[in-house]
A = this chain, B = another copy of it.
Amino acid sequence: MKNVQITYELFLELIKYHLLESDADTEKIKKELTNKIDALVMRELYSKYKTAPTEEEKEKARKEYLDRRGVPDSFRW
């Protein structure tokens, strides 16, 4: 099973929230988890782009990647 790396800070907030029932920064937890999902999706798209078997799929992954990154059309290769 693969692992996911999270920041030490997020880990501490999760401990506070789930184990210590003390005041955890839930906004931080949400934000960091969201960022992490985003990073994983980006990596997946990049990997799809790099390994796509056809030019068409490659182009599709490249476009989706750039859309998500928010790269304007005029700056694309």
On A, residues with C-beta under 8 Å from B are 1-11, 14-15, 18-19, 26, 29-30, 33-34, 36-37
Contact = CB atoms under 8 A, between A and B. Distances in A.
Given A1-B9, A3-B6, 19 more contacts: A1-B8, A2-B8, A3-B5, A4-B5, A4-B6, A4-B7, A4-B10, A4-B11, A5-B5, A5-B6, A6-B6, A11-B36, A14-B14, A14-B33, A15-B37, A18-B29, A18-B30, A19-B30, A19-B33
Contacts of A14: 14, 33
Looking at chain A's contact residues, the main secondary structure is helix
6 tightest Cβ-Cβ pairs between the two chains A and B: A4-B11, A3-B5, A2-B8, A18-B29, A5-B5, A18-B30
Contacts of A19: 30, 33-34, 37
